[in-house]
Structure 1
């Protein structure tokens, strides 16, 4: 078993919006059925191979009021943004040792804008 100290969590959304919160706002976070996926692309004459993690299920519990003290790149309070839209594409975990791990979230093919699977996976403690 490997342990790493979490420093902050960065959320990326379907509409290219993103936002970061410190780890002390996270009450619980679990990624289940985590597996590695591989992708190959072509950039500037180079073939690029990328390995990344995909979570079939995830649970994220956070404090709504504390999360609203942080903002997305579109100046929306992050707690509000997380609750009003079900469109988290991936989560990047930033660790205290300056490493990071990107985890993509499994997406339902029934919608382009919202992930119908997500609404059951995000729990936010509201006042």
Structure 2
């Protein structure tokens, strides 16, 4: 078990949680994965905190078609104790599940400065 030094206070953890999105009258099931930063005294407390955080995302609500939609926590996929958090620290890396032929030559120039990021909160 990973444990924090009690003298230094709670440690930061990154938790990756999978959610199922369902809708009545539909056979479609969609999964999402969210990454949250939490603080806890040790790994076991971190797991309980991650579970509580994920439960706060669960919902049942009316959908646009007059049915019911549901967001349900499926699992805590990962729980990682982080070292001291520094500016720019990577806390998640999600790989695409799609494996397709690359439409880009190796010397293609990507233009990340043209990014127009969305706000996910």
Query: TM range, normalised to the smaller chain?
Result: under 0.3
Q: TM-score, normalised by structure 2?
A: 0.23
Q: TM-score, normalised by structure 1?
A: 0.23
User: Bigger radius of gyration, 1 or 2?
Assistant: 2
Structure that is richer in strand per residue: 1
